[in-house]
Amino acid sequence: MAQIKPRVSVKYAENATIVSFVDEKILEETDIRALQETIMSVIESASGGMNMILDFGNVRFLSSAVLGLLIRISKRIYERDGRLKLCNINPKIYEVFKITRLTKTFDIYDDVDSAVDG
C-alpha cells in the first residue's frame, strides 16, 4: 500500500496559520484529495477570520488540479472572513500562476515573513 503523500506541517504564528507543503511533487489525485481534507480540517478548526499562509518552499512540481484546490481553499477561507496568502512559489510554478491569471486572484509573497507582515 502506497503511503498517502502530500504531507504538510502546520505552524501557528501570532496572527497566521502557516501550512507548509513537505513534498516536492503534488501530482496524484489521491494526494490532492488528502491535501484538501487536511487543509479544510485546519480551516474548520479555526475560529472565523483566519489568516492562512500556504508555503510552497519545498514544492517543485504540481498538477493543474492543485490550482483548483487552491481556489476551493480560498473560497472556504473567504466564506469564513479569512485571508489566504501564498509564498515561496518556485519560479516555474509561478509562471503557471501568471499564465492562468491566478496572480490576480491570490496574494503572493516572496517568503513566509513577508506574508505574515503583509
3-class SS of residue 15: coil
Looking at the predicted structure, is the pLDDT value of residue 6 above 90?
A: no
Question: Counting Cβ atoms within 10 Å, is residue 59 exposed (0-12), middle (13-18) or buried (19+)?
Answer: buried
Assigned CATH topology for domain 8-117:
Transcription Regulator spoIIAA (3.30.750)
User: What is this structure's pTM?
Assistant: 0.93
Residue of higher predicted confidence among 116 and 3: 116
Instruction: Output the pLDDT for position 2.
Output: 47
Task: Name the pLDDT band for 49 (thresholds 50, 70, 90).
Answer: confident
In tens, the pLDDT along 51-76 reads 999 999 999 999 999 999 999 999 99
Per-domain residue ranges of the chain: 8-117
Q: Do 35 and 8 meet the contact criterion of CB atoms below 8 Å apart? A: yes
In tens, the pLDDT along 75-99 reads 999 999 999 999 999 999 999 999 9
- What are 11's strand-pairing partners? 18
Q: What is the DSSP string of 17-82?
A: EEEEE--SEE--HHHHHHHHHHHHHHHHHSPSS-EEEEE-TT--EE-HHHHHHHHHHHHHHHHTT-
